[in-house]
Structure 1
Amino acid sequence: MGICPVCNGFMNVALPCPSCSGSMENSGREADLYDDYSPYMPIDQMKLEDGYPADFLEEECPHLFICPRCGTSKMFFIKE
């Protein structure tokens, strides 16, 4: 099992918005936003249930990024 450098604060990611070229902000792991208990579930279990087969097999962490300027949201996979 890999360790996500963004979740663990080892690096910050600044991504340009595909709609307005503003700077998108990391809103955290996508699976943490499913419900109130999702952040407390084992990460590997959530990876099997989140609908992204590559995140478990290729050790990638899906993060939701949102542009504060235009509201565009996009999923990016961070290599663990």
Structure 2
Amino acid sequence: MDLCPLCNGFESSMIQCPNCQTMMEDKGKITDYLDDYSAYMDIDMMKLFDGNLTSLEDHTCSHYFYCTSCQHEEVNSIKE
């Protein structure tokens, strides 16, 4: 079983905003935002809906990052 280092608190994210160079905040898995109950669903099953066709096979976790300075948003794949 692969574990996401960000979801499990093993590491913290250090992603710089491409617009203003401020450090972006990790807001969690993108699939947690699908509906009220998606955060409680099976992680591997939810990877079928994360917008990345190969996240399950590549063992990546798609995280939503947000810049509080310029409101830039992006999704990055984190290696599990």
Into which bin does the TM-score normalised by the smaller protein fall?
over 0.9
Which residue in 2 is equivalent to 1:28?
28
Cα drift, residue 55 of structure 1: 1.0
Which residue in 2 is equivalent to 1:5?
5
More strand by share: 1
RMSD: 0.9
Which residue in 1 is equivalent to 2:47?
47
Which residue in 2 is equivalent to 1:18?
18
Do the aligned partners of 2:62 and 2:75 also contact (CA within 8 Å) in 1? yes
Query: Structure 2, unaligned stretches of length 5 or more?
Result: none
CA distance in 1, matches of 2:2, 2:53: 15
Q: Does 1:37 align with 2:37?
A: yes
CA distance in 1, matches of 2:50, 2:6: 19
- Indicate the SS of the match to 1:11: coil
TM-score (structure 1 length as normaliser) = 0.95
Cα drift, residue 33 of structure 1: 0.8
TM-score (structure 2 length as normaliser) = 0.95
Task: Give the % identical residues.
Answer: 44
Equivalenced residue count is 80
Cα drift, residue 50 of structure 1: 2.3
CA distance in 2, matches of 1:15, 1:49: 24
Which residue in 1 is equivalent to 2:76?
76
